[in-house]
Amino acid sequence: MIWLKRSFLALLAVALWVVLSLLFLSKERLCNGAVEAAASKGVTLCYDGRTASMLGCRLERTTVLYGHAPVAKVGLALFTPWKIEISKIRLEGLAASMLPPKIATVRFEPLGGTIYAEGDFGVLRGDVAWSGRRVNLELTPSSLMKREFGATLREFRQKNGKYTYALSF
């Protein structure tokens, strides 16, 4: 019985360490890490407002550039250790020719491995299998997406009115 008590205490200590590490992680570093990770891929984030709080980091009124070409304008981006949420997205330039320009929200939860996006294109749901290094996306397209962006939909596989896309990383 003593081994059960010690195992429980060890598990509780590890869980407490993880929770406290996420809570006391420097949110300023989290914000800098998000901007630097984007910059390493050639994406520049130009933002008007930046706020770091106890729970996360917010970037407001952000312009996203790839190289020097504008790709999107973002109303609000929220980065926390357990969730990344981007809302009020308006695509520009080449990206607007591939997808409908308005995206209401995009949410990524790295711990659960879930992706959710909603906008004029329809609803996108996805999951990330970290162990298999695979991303599976399922799109339920809107009538606008079907009518005007058929070339983009051809990249997906159609099954029962839903479009799926899988990639590995």
Cα-Cα end-to-end distance for the chain:
45
Q: Give residue-wise pLDDT tens across range 105-134.
A: 999 999 899 999 999 999 999 999 999 999
Q: Could you tell me what percent of the chain has a pLDDT over 70?
A: 98
Beta-carbon contacts of residue 4 (< 8 Å; ≥ 6 apart): none
pTM: 0.78
What are φ and ψ of residue 7, in 5° steps?
-65, -40
* Mean of pLDDT over the chain: 89
pLDDT of residue 23: 67
Are the CB atoms for 72 and 64 separated by under 8 Å? yes
